[in-house]
Amino acid sequence: MKQEQLVLQERPNGLPNKDTFQFKKVEVAEPAENEVLLKTLYVSVDPYMRGRMSDAPSYAEPFEAGAPLVGGNVSQVMKSNSDQFTSGDLVTGNLDFQEYNVVKADKVRKVRTNGLSPSNALSVLGMPSLTAYFGMMHIGEPKEGETVVVSGAAGAVGQVAGQLAKKAGARVVGIVGSEEKAKYITETLGYDAAVEYKKGNVSEQLKETCPDGIDVYYENVGGDISDAVWPLLNVFARVPVCGAISAYNLEEGEKDIGLRVQQFLIKSRVKMQGLLVGDFAEHYDEAYQVLEEAVSNGELKFEETIHDGFHAIPDAFLGLFSGENIGKQLVKVADAE
């Protein structure tokens, strides 16, 4: 049987485009002993994948040109040669971007849907929420009455990070790219105020919405937006540095230059710490417990923006950089059987 596969055709310079991607038809393999045949239901497109399209050294191996892209995936088991799974089980893992995968059983884990959509395993009950949890709770450590600012606030990580800070009793301000997102974070998620950076003068908007300064800045975007934050940080503020999406598509030779932060950090004795979700693996159970409980009792709200069909993956990925998504950006590839 033939299937569609999405490969990295050429490494992008700057913003990826249609030449970055290529669809191929390849044969579906047969599962061997201790392997499972999986049918892809959902794939996750994530900003960090842009880094893997380049061959610059980083924490994740570069994708190989001509080889399939790899990312978060929810699949259904079609055939199992492992005693860990039976046909029909829903599983998740980091898998090749193709309609079917044959993998060793230990490459995936079962998804507990609890009546929710299996796509949630890639969003509110998956990697982005774990990232929000560890960045906010283990590094940001918001306290009752403090002011917390989250950039990329309506995205997959941001939508959860802000709600966790609210739960801890903080006043929370989100920075977003549109009026629709400003409404979403204030009216649906319960953020106290929104800054719309595309309207300009982020510095003034932040001063107005954070009259007592900023105690925690959850950094998702970098660039000019963050430069407006540094002067407003309070003494002993914390800055979990989760992402810097504004710099992911710089062209070769282009530099990410902004305000130099040292003096602000010294003056206010700020703790700024880079974050990689995988470093917190030993605490995943703790985070899942908090997140599952908050989702099941309706305390944690979330959105998913879902594109339809395997061929929609490149557009869904590019949509992350134009700010098209509210909540987690996903692609639905097939229905469960």
- Other residues' Cβ atoms within 10 Å of the Cβ of residue 138: 16
Q: Give whichever of 126 and 142 is closer to ligand NDP, judged by the CB atom.
A: 126
Q: Give whichever of 80 and 329 is closer to ligand NDP, judged by the CB atom.
A: 329
> 218 to each of 162, 187, 191, 243, 329, how far by Cα in Å?
9, 20, 14, 9, 20
Residue 20 Cβ, how far from ligand NDP at the closest point, in Å?
17
Binding site for ligand NDP (CB under 6 A): 46-48, 128, 131, 152, 154-158, 176-178, 181, 220-221, 223, 225, 242-243, 245-246, 275-277, 320-321, 323, 325, 329
Residue 224 Cβ, how far from ligand NDP at the closest point, in Å?
8
Largest CA distance in the chain: 64
Residue 178 Cβ, how far from ligand NDP at the closest point, in Å?
6
User: What residues pair up with 306 in beta bridges, in sequence order?
Assistant: 330
C-alpha closest to that of 217 among 276, 302, 139: 139
Helix, strand, or coil (residue 218)? strand
Residue 324 Cβ, how far from ligand NDP at the closest point, in Å?
7
Helix, strand, or coil (residue 97)? coil
Q: Give whichever of 121 and 320 is closer to ligand NDP, judged by the CB atom.
A: 320
Residue type, 113: T
Q: Give whichever of 68 and 222 is closer to ligand NDP, judged by the CB atom.
A: 222
Residue type, 167: K
Residue length, the chain?
Answer: 337
Q: Give whichever of 159 and 268 is closer to ligand NDP, judged by the CB atom.
A: 159
Residue 306 Cβ, how far from ligand NDP at the closest point, in Å?
13
